[in-house]
Every structure is written in C-alpha cells, then in structure tokens.
Amino acid sequence: MADAASLSLPAQDAAARIRAEIDRLYREGVVHCDDGFVKSLYPTSLTPGRGRFLGELARQLAPRATLEVGMGWGLSTLHLLEGLLRAGGPHQPHIVMDPFQHTMLHGGALRAIREAGAANLIEFHEVPSEIHMPKLVEQGRKFDFIFIDGDHRFDGAFVDLVFAHKLLTPGGVVVMDDTEYDSVFLACRFAETNWNYSYVAGHSDRASADAGRHRYRNARPRPQIAAWRKPMADPERSQHHFNSFVDDFSPYIRANRMRSSRLAHAGLVALRAGDREAARRSFRAALREDPARVKNLFRYLRTYLPPGMARLLTGRSKHG
Ligand SMILES: C[S@@+](CC[C@H](N)C(=O)[O-])C[C@H]1O[C@@H](n2cnc3c(N)ncnc32)[C@H](O)[C@@H]1O
C-alpha cells in the first residue's frame, strides 16, 4: 500500500477532488441530476460515518480488484474511490452495478462521479446484480474487495452474498451495509456459520448506549455496516445439512417483531389504498404483537385525522 507521501501528485489531486465532491454533497444534503431533478441524499446514501468506515477500509486493505452493488446517489462509490486512490490504486476500473440509476435515480450518482473527475475510474453496469454477477463468475473474474448495498430483502442480500463468495479471492473482504436489518444480518450469519467467514470490523452511527437496541440474546451488538473476510480455504460441507444461522435470534422476540412489522406494512398499504378501517385493524394488531413499537400507535391515531391535518402534523405527504 502506498503511504500518503509516496502517492503521485495526480493520485493525490484526484483523491482531493473526490473528497471535495463528497464534502460538498454532505454539506448541501441534496443531489442535483442532469434533468434538473433535485433530491435529498437520505435515506438512500451512506452517512459520513459509514462512508468513512468504507473508504478507510479500502485504503487500509489496498485491494487490487473491487466490485460494488447498489450505487444510489454515488456516496459509497466516491468513498471507495477516494480510499483506493489514497492506497495507490485503483489498479483497474472499479465495477459498480445498479439497475435503477436512470429510471429512479435520474443518473445522480453518475453526475456526481463525473463532477468528482472520477468517471474514468469506474465501469458501470445498469443491470441487477443477480444478472451481472453470474456473468462475472462465468468470465472467471476475481475480486478482493466487494461492497454490497443493493436489494436489502433477505433473498436479495443472500443472492448477492452467494455470488460475492464465488467472486472473492481467498482472504478477500466483503462489506455489507445495513447489517442492522434482520434480512442482511441473517445472510451474513450464513457466511459466518457455513462458509467460515470471519468478522473483520463494523461501524454504527448510533451512540453506544443505543447500540444495544439491535442486540439479541447471546449475540454481539450489531453494527450498521460491517466487513467479513473469506477464509483461505473453503470448509468441507455436507450436501444434506447446513449449520443453523438463526441461533442468535430469540425466537419469541424476533417472531413478535417480524409479525408486528408485517402487520404495520399491511396497514400502510391499506392507508395508501384509502381503506382506513383495514389500516386501523392492522396497526392495532401490530401494536398487540409489539407494544414497544410506539410508532404504530401514532400511525393508528393518525388514521382518525383528516388527511390534511395528518400531513400538517407530520410534515409528510404519505402516511408512514
Ligand atoms: C441504499 S441504495 C445504495 C446507496 C449507495 N451505496 C450509497 O451509499 O450512496 C440501494 C441501491 O441499490 C440499488 N439496487 C436495488 N436492487 C438492486 C439490484 N438487484 N442490483 C443492484 N443494485 C440494486 C438501488 O437502485 C439503489 O440505488
């Protein structure tokens, strides 16, 4: 890995320009797109803390080949590129995929990366990861650093992780964002318990007192973004059995919370369809499952307000 002093001037300049673009985006809090669309960076983007974690990890590990799933507004890509430049790279274009970059994100990330002078450092594929990653496997490509922040449902995160596993070199590192979500965390637990991946490091923006919110019996506190290392040799695995990867979850509490959030989701869907009675029933049932989730009490109460007043009180245009 190159130290700061040994970095070439163009690499230092390029890293500084990317840093200036990251700082500008965070300062303004919005992204401007070529078609005039302007949108808040959040909740899509990595926070500065998570971005620092990702960029610093890339700088320290100085990987030679990198891959990223889920570009959003480009913050993760920019942090990664800054880290790679500060480590003397990138040694080949950083591969990024996101199927919705133009349809939903108005090309905002591509513009930010262009403005950071980094367009020539990436190879962008506007396709779903579950389509593009198998192609990379077929081509025999290998990567020593993969960042995943795409489809956060369990099946999406798990499929991404399965292909990341096939694409990673032995000893390579995969970083997953949103590891406080059950879906993402469970996928990572599978990698730990069945592929022998070892935990490298994690980061949480929450104050440590609050980090316990995501703590489960017999489990370590959960970070919001975390890295795992692939072992140097794959473990022997049975065709018929797998190691349980759900042991960390207290079945009672988790089942309760999962049922509660499913019911709350059904309530929101009913509200959007204009069926307040069905929404009330769902929110009431969600509260019975998990009374500590006070948000559902407010959602329930708001179903009695005229829509205009609900908007006025919450400043939201939707009922969530
Ligand atoms: C949370 S955002 C990513 C934010 C980004 N990493 C950042 O920090 O700036 C999730 C992104 O994943 C993309 N995405 C969703 N499904 C995907 C898939 N199947 N393959 C690749 N990207 C996907 C979405 O379009 C969205 O841009």
Label the pairing between strands 143-148 and 66-69: parallel
Tell which residue, 79, 60, 76, has the closest CA to residue 68. Answer: 76
- The conformation of residue 93, written as its DSSP 8-state character, comes to P
Q: Range with the lowest mean pLDDT among 153-162, 163-172, 239-248?
A: 239-248
Q: What's the whole-number mean pLDDT along residues 138-158?
A: 97
Q: Which atom of ligand 1 is nearest to the CA of 132?
A: 20
Report which of residues 247 and 285 the model is more confident about. 285
Gap from CA of 101 to ligand 1 centroid (Å)? 9
The binding-site residues of ligand 1, defined as CB within 6 angstroms of any ligand atom, are 44-46, 69-76, 97-100, 105, 128-130, 149-151, 156
pTM for this prediction: 0.82
Domain boundaries, the chain: 11-229, 251-314
Here the contacts of 262-267 (C-beta below 8 Å, separation 24 or greater) are: 263/289, 264/293, 264/295, 264/296, 264/299, 267/296, 267/299, 267/300
Gap from CA of 73 to ligand 1 centroid (Å)? 9
Residue 294: is its pLDDT beyond 70?
yes
Which two structure tokens, joined as six digits, stand for 68?
Answer: 């990223």
pLDDT tens per residue across span 197-227: 999 999 988 765 444 444 444 455 678 999 9
Return d(Cα 237, Cα 200) in angstroms, integer. Answer: 23
The proportion of the chain whose per-residue pLDDT surpasses 70, expressed as a percent, equals 87
Contact status, residue 102 vs residue 2, Cβ threshold 8 Å = no
Domain 11-229: give its CATH architecture: 3-Layer(aba) Sandwich (3.40)
Contact status, residue 54 vs residue 175, Cβ threshold 8 Å = yes
Report which of residues 5 and 100 the model is more confident about. 100
**Nearest CA residue ID for atom 4, ligand 1:** 72
CA 23, 113, 82, 9 torsion: positive or negative?
negative
Chain centre to alpha carbon of residue 215: 19
Q: What's the whole-number mean pLDDT along residues 53-64?
A: 98
